[in-house]
Amino acid sequence: MAKNPATTIKELTDRLNGSLGRLSAQQSADIEQSPPRTSSGFSTVGQKQPVPYREKIQKISAEVVDSNPYSRLMALQKMGIVKDYEKIREKTVAVVGVGGVGSVVAEMLTRCGIGKLILFDYDKVEIANMNRLFYQPDQAGLSKVDAAKQTLIHVNPDVQIEVHNFNITTMDNFETFVDRIRHGSLTNGKVDLVLSCVDNFEARMTVNVACNEENQIWMESGVSENAVSGHIQYIEPGKTACFACVPPLVVASNIDERTLKREGVCAASLPTTMAVVAGFLVMNTLKYLLNFGEISHYVGYNALVDFFPRDAIKPNPSCEDSHCQARQKEYEERKTLEKPNIVSTPTHDEPVVHEDNEFEIVLLEDSEEGTATETATSSNLASGLKYAYEPQPNVDQRNDQTPAQIATHDLLISLKDKLIEEAKNKRTK
């Protein structure tokens, strides 16, 4: 005898609900046992030995397949933009500060397949950091360098990541910092580049001192406290102005500083501005490491009008950093040795000589550029840039100033000197 259709439907419904319940319970158990995902791969919070999602790739390939993370990077080589992209795996970059800019820089370099990253920071991840990029809420409480390593190792397990959770401005830590610059590369030699992504004068001066001592090329970056401007700067000891040669360049934001409310207000930050600055910094880094394009000495960013001023500042022969002066001397000696010996070939045609020069016009070689002391006033900078403070005027300029103006300038110089001296002396404490 056939079963009642209503009973059959009820039985089927009960069985289906039971199966769905068991499936849901199994999925919940699987989720609890596996690490939570993040935007950059798998989070490994609480795991001492995070396991990458794939095996390391011994040799990168340009093969266009879904499983090849390097195909679109190697396309730069196939298109003729970069001569040998694979060389990036031999490079080591030290990133000082892995906050809003530095963490994004580290992620970009990791995705580009850099050989090794050395990260320096002493801060911890906080929920207040979530308005910026990279870090996840479940990483709150971890040191930034450890949280960064946990994420980056899953983005690209081919990259070696070394972390140092300390303040580089103390004496002991400064020595370790210098040692890692000197011996931190994949071959235990000098690193290829140092990137400064810190947010304070003291740390920048510490990086400046270390790189001048080691003759290490580095790049500096920063975002303004109102979050609407930022910059990157290429610094080559002896060739370009170091951080102590002239006042730091800042991007003029066309905002009346007197209207900004600072009392009870923390420094502002926008992920947009930080991402733009990080992108410029990594692009300049890739051009330097892989030898393509034009390396920018200074690029500013004014977010209010999408303006990007550029400039280049020569070193100051009177820089108070003795190592900077030594590097300048070495650079000039190298230029003399490398200068080609050009022998002029006589021609049959006599050159045209103009006896009269009514306007006293003098032609200069394109290579002749002024030093920092010749251009160290905001009026001579590229449009949209200014110094954080005006440098000390020359003696002949001071003769035209009133006693009050001279006293004001002396006070500014005294404050600047005090900041520089404190940055140097802090390492001895």
Active site residues: 266
Q: How far apart are CA 153 and CA 43, in angstroms?
A: 10
**SS3 annotation, 33-100:** HCCCEECCEECCCCCCCCCCCCCCCCCCCCCCCCCCCCHHHHHHHHCCCCCCHHHHHHCEEEEECCCC
Q: Which residues contact 193 (CB under 8 A, 6 or more apart)?
A: 91, 93, 94, 217, 218, 219, 285, 288, 289
Query: Do residues 233 and 298 touch, judged by C-beta distance below 8 A?
Result: yes
Q: Which residues contact 415 (CB under 8 A, 6 or more apart)?
A: none
Record the tokens describing residue 138, joined without a space.
Answer: 């479940």
Tell me which amino acid residue 412 is.
Answer: L
For the CA atoms of 53, 58, 60, 65, the dihedral, rounded to the nearest 10 degrees, stands at: -50
Q: How far apart are CA 411 and CA 129, in angstroms?
A: 36
Q: Which residues contact 296 (CB under 8 A, 6 or more apart)?
A: 232, 234, 280, 284, 310
Residue 137's Cα: distance from chain center in Å? 24
Record the tokens describing residue 419, joined without a space.
Answer: 């900041």
Q: Which residues contact 73 (CB under 8 A, 6 or more apart)?
A: 60, 85, 112, 113
Cα distances (Å, whole numbers) of residue 310 to 152, 251, 295: 32, 10, 11
Closest by Cα among 364, 366, 369, 365 to 313 = 369
